Amino acid sequence: MKTLRVALLQLDVAWGNPQANRAKVRRALDGLAPCDLAILPELWSGSYDNPRMEALAEESPACLEEVATWCRDTGSWALAGTLPWRTPEGLANRAFLLDEAGGVRGTYDKVHLFPLLAEPEHFIPGKAPLLASLRGVRFAAAVCYDIRFPEFLRRMALEGAEVIGVCAEWPLSRIDAWRTLLRARAMENQLFVVGVNRAGWGGTDLYGGHSLVVAPDGTVLYEAGEEEEIGTADLELSLVPRTRKALPAFRDRRPDLYGFLGENREREDTSVAPGEEETEIC
């Protein structure tokens, strides 16, 4: 496949109301023009209604089936956002990659849990990235806070990713960081990044929208506004090898100097960066 058409569902998520959100998602999906892949935001079934997260997880299978039914009806794939999902170890903030038959081709449990939204108190961290073949395209997934960890997305690139889909609930107050980080991850890894954020109020936070599609050279191919919006973009996959050939940065890497970034070398206190005090600007 030379071109991947992606639909971005930037939705205003109803707080703690999976029934309303499931209906909204199905209406949005049914209104899409033909596409290869639809991407939903993080925790779209009810947002961060943490006191009710266990109850929201009860509705997650029905929410997932709504998206799977659309995949079967249209022959499209979906990165079905994330949902609170029950596992034997506890709740996971889990993303699902669904194929054209509605089957689960891969799952990804959010690895980097965001402390300012009390995620470590409600979710267990994931243990591995998701990398799968999507109609011949090497596709990887990340969730929100993950994009602040460049070594994590670099691992995906080194394992062959051509497109990284990012599901998020990113606040408007830090939307400049969202845009900058998505562009940086695309440019440094010379691949496509598709970031789908939610919009609207959730609890006490206003979420920022500005879902983005970024090309391997950092060019913004599509950007939504702050409100609820559905958008599409065509990813010309040949841009990945062309960009890497024109500027062969991967060839010039020096993992002998910084390969330790992937090793488990912990300081006594890993809660703050070296020389820094913990602040609430993450």
The CATH class that applies to domain 3-248 reads alpha beta
Amino acid at the residue 268: E
Q: Where are the domains of the chain?
A: 3-248
CA distance 76 to 266: 43
Q: What is the pTM of this model?
A: 0.93
pLDDT class of 254 with cuts at 50, 70, 90: very high
Q: Give percent of the chain above pLDDT 90.
A: 90
Distances (CA, A) of 276 to 149, 150, 162, 264, 269: 17, 19, 35, 21, 11
pLDDT class of 246 with cuts at 50, 70, 90: very high
Question: How close are the terminal C-alpha atoms of the chain, in Å?
Answer: 38
Give the residue among 120, 225, 221, 222 at the shortest CA–CA distance from 172: 225
pLDDT in tens, 63-79: 999 999 999 999 999 99
Active-site positions read: 42, 110, 144
pLDDT class of 241 with cuts at 50, 70, 90: very high
CA distance 85 to 102: 18
Find how far residue 61's CA is from the centre of its chain: 19
